[in-house]
Amino acid sequence: MQPMAEWMVNILNWLLIAGGQLWFWTWENLKAICGVLWGVVDAVLNPVLSPVLSILNPVCVVVGDVIYAAIDLLPIWVGLILLSAGTGVVMLVFFRYTSNQTAIARAKDDIKANLLALKLFRDDLRVVFSAQGKVLLAVLRLQRHVLLPVLLATPFMLLVMAQMGIRHQWRPLHPNERTLIKMTMRPSSGKSTQAVLRAHPGVRVEVGPVPGGNQFVWRVRAGQLGRHVLQFDVGSTVVEKEFVVAKGLERVSALRPGADWTSQLIHPVERPLPTASPVESIEILYPSLESRVYGTDYWLLTFFVVSMIVALILSPVFKVKF
């Protein structure tokens, strides 16, 4: 019995090791394939989306500023909940008019009817299998009808979340607070390019820049309160970056991106750096906003939970089916 048990354990181990290696191999290759595919999609989309976002982002920032100014007197968590609830309502109305409500209602009716059939004719195998198949088909149909409006709503949602992100993901630096400024250079910029941060009352350089890799990094302390524009001399060009020092909460731009649509989507505040610039991006490591309701990362959870609950509660009012 003992050798048999040992033999079985060995087989099990071998299967687990082989299974693990197979899984690892599959996962790595899947990642590589996805990476290649994403590269192709990105290459195709970027020339289109980057200029579009360059136009859209300033408009969105202004709209965001107006909305946040309107709720400025409220506690920030109340403001976030109100905005999330409002987004839930907007999405509900959007869904109402972009989806085929009749088809959705029909698919849901089919599901209900076949579930009832399953309950009533549980002894009849033929009916059971048939009803199960129909439920499955109805669910797929329902998904198809839901998918289109969701896809149409996604760009709007991303723009909304980007506006919320710049106000909840980070907070401005407090006076005398320490942080890092990272300037990433384009590979084509040449190793001899130097970068100098011009003196500014909003910032005091403690150390740097320390070059290395394709980056220049400064360690700085925040200076005077204000929404400053820092200027960097990079080779023969001047590059600018917004730098916010405030005691309260304000929107911040953690990164000034290059002409890259994904970065522009997440960091919408500043104009993207020109393609001809030797600088690829400039990042300021703003501190996280500490709150488990509206702070770093948690704001996203609050946003999704509140907007979905509001949409669910109000769906009968707006006569929306999903």
What is the binding site for other proteins (CB under 8 A)?
A: 13, 16-17, 19-21, 23-24, 180, 182, 206-208, 210-213, 217-219, 285
Nearer to other proteins, 187 or 213 (CB): 213
Q: Which two tokens stand for residue 322?
A: 């999903």
CB of 292 to other proteins, least distance (A): 13
Strand arrangement of the beta sheet that strand 255-256 belongs to = 203-212, 215-222, 178-185, 279-284, 255-256
Nearer to other proteins, 213 or 316 (CB): 213
CB of 18 to other proteins, least distance (A): 9
Sign of CA dihedral 272, 273, 274, 276: negative
CB of 34 to other proteins, least distance (A): 20
Nearer to other proteins, 173 or 217 (CB): 217
Cβ–Cβ < 8 Å for 309, 203: no
Q: Which residue has the tokens 């409220």?
A: 74
Nearest to 89 by CA among 321, 322, 312: 312
Burial, 119: exposed, middle or buried (Cβ in 10 Å; 0-12, 13-18, 19+)? exposed
Q: Name residues whose C-beta falls within 8 Å of residue 235's C-beta, 6 or more positions apart in sequence.
A: 189, 190, 193, 194, 278
Whole-number Å distance between alpha carbons of 3 and 282:
64
Nearer to other proteins, 5 or 69 (CB): 5
Nearer to other proteins, 86 or 208 (CB): 208
Nearest to 178 by CA among 295, 296, 287: 287
CA 289 to chain centre: 17
Q: 3-class DSSP state for residue 234?
A: strand
CB of 180 to other proteins, least distance (A): 6
CB of 2 to other proteins, least distance (A): 15
CB of 215 to other proteins, least distance (A): 8
Nearer to other proteins, 124 or 206 (CB): 206
Nearer to other proteins, 94 or 218 (CB): 218
CB of 195 to other proteins, least distance (A): 13
Q: Which residue has the tokens 């703003």?
A: 286
